[in-house]
Amino acid sequence: MPALFTHEFATDPYPAYAWLREHAPVYKTVLPSGVEAWLVTRYADAREALADPRLSKNPVHHSEAAHGKGKVGIPGERSANLMTHLLNIDPPDHTRLRRLVSKAFTPRRVAAFEPRVRELADRLIDGFAARGHADLIHEFAFPLPIYAICDMLGVPAEDQDDFRDWAGMMIRHGGGPRGGVGRAVKRMRAYLAELIHRKRGESGDDLISGLIRASDHGEQLTENEAAAMAFILLFAGFETTVNLIGNGTYALLSHPDQRRLFQDALAADDTGLLRTAVEELLRYDGPVELATWRFATEPMTIGGQRVEPGDPVLVVLAAADRDPARFDDPDTLDLTRSDNQHLGYGHGIHYCLGAPLARLEGHIALATLFGRLPDLRLAVEPSELRRRGGLIMRGLRELPVEFEP
Ligand code: HEM
Residue located nearest, by CA, to atom 2 of ligand 1: 345
Q: What percent of the residues of the chain are helix, what percent strand, and what percent coil, each to the nearest 5?
A: 50, 10, 40
Cα distance between residue 144 and residue 245, in whole Å: 9
300 burial level (CB within 10 Å; 0-12, 13-18, 19+): middle
Confidence at residue 68, expressed as pLDDT on a 0 to 100 scale: 52
CB atoms under 10 Å from CB of 336, counted, come to: 13
Residue located nearest, by CA, to atom 26 of ligand 1: 237
Confidence at residue 115, expressed as pLDDT on a 0 to 100 scale: 96
Atom of ligand 1 nearest to the CA of 359: 21
Atom of ligand 1 nearest to the CA of 362: 21
Residue located nearest, by CA, to atom 30 of ligand 1: 353
Confidence at residue 170, expressed as pLDDT on a 0 to 100 scale: 78
Confidence at residue 184, expressed as pLDDT on a 0 to 100 scale: 84
Atom of ligand 1 nearest to the CA of 343: 9
- This prediction has a pTM of 0.94
Atom of ligand 1 nearest to the CA of 349: 38
Confidence at residue 177, expressed as pLDDT on a 0 to 100 scale: 47
Q: How far is the CA of 75 from the centre of ligand 1 (A)?
A: 18
Q: How far is the CA of 405 from the centre of ligand 1 (A)?
A: 36
Cα distance between residue 313 and residue 309, in whole Å: 11
Atom of ligand 1 nearest to the CA of 229: 33
Ligand 1 pocket mutation, candidates 151, 352, 364, criterion most atoms within 8 A of CB: 352
Long-range contacts of range 153-158, CB-CB < 8 Å, 24 or more positions apart? 153/206, 153/207, 153/208, 153/230, 153/233, 153/234, 154/195, 154/199, 154/204, 154/206, 154/207, 154/208, 154/209, 155/195
Task: Write down how long the chain is.
Answer: 405
Contact 175, 74 (CB under 8 A): yes
Ligand 1 pocket mutation, candidates 101, 234, 240, criterion most atoms within 8 A of CB: 240
Q: How far is the CA of 291 from the centre of ligand 1 (A)?
A: 9
Residue located nearest, by CA, to atom 38 of ligand 1: 350
Cα distance between residue 33 and residue 257, in whole Å: 40
Q: How far is the CA of 353 from the centre of ligand 1 (A)?
A: 6
CB atoms under 10 Å from CB of 171, counted, come to: 23
Atom of ligand 1 nearest to the CA of 351: 10
Contact 247, 382 (CB under 8 A): no
Confidence at residue 173, expressed as pLDDT on a 0 to 100 scale: 61
Residue located nearest, by CA, to atom 35 of ligand 1: 350
Confidence at residue 176, expressed as pLDDT on a 0 to 100 scale: 47
Confidence at residue 70, expressed as pLDDT on a 0 to 100 scale: 54
Confidence at residue 202, expressed as pLDDT on a 0 to 100 scale: 84
Confidence at residue 66, expressed as pLDDT on a 0 to 100 scale: 53
Cα distance between residue 289 and residue 311, in whole Å: 20
Cα distance between residue 82 and residue 129, in whole Å: 40
Question: Which protein residues are within 6 Å of ligand 1, measured from CB?
Answer: 50, 86-87, 98, 149, 232-233, 236-237, 240-241, 244, 286-288, 291-292, 344-346, 350, 352-354, 357-358, 362
236 burial level (CB within 10 Å; 0-12, 13-18, 19+): buried
Cα distance between residue 342 and residue 188, in whole Å: 33
Q: How far is the CA of 236 from the centre of ligand 1 (A)?
A: 5
Q: What dihedral do alpha carbons 275, 327, 46, 346 form, nearest 10°?
A: 0
pLDDT tens, residue order, the chain (405 aa): 899 999 999 999 999 999 999 999 999 999 998 999 999 999 999 999 999 999 999 988 888 765 555 567 777 777 667 777 899 999 999 999 999 999 888 989 999 999 999 999 999 999 999 999 999 999 999 999 999 999 999 999 999 999 888 888 877 764 444 556 788 888 888 899 899 989 988 888 899 998 888 877 777 888 888 888 998 998 889 999 999 999 999 999 999 999 999 999 999 999 999 999 999 999 999 999 999 999 999 999 999 999 999 999 999 999 999 999 999 999 999 999 999 999 999 999 999 999 999 999 999 999 999 999 999 999 999 999 999 888 899 999 999 999 999
Atom of ligand 1 nearest to the CA of 50: 13
ipTM rounded to 2 decimals: 0.99
- List 387's β-bridge partners, or say none: 396
Confidence at residue 65, expressed as pLDDT on a 0 to 100 scale: 65
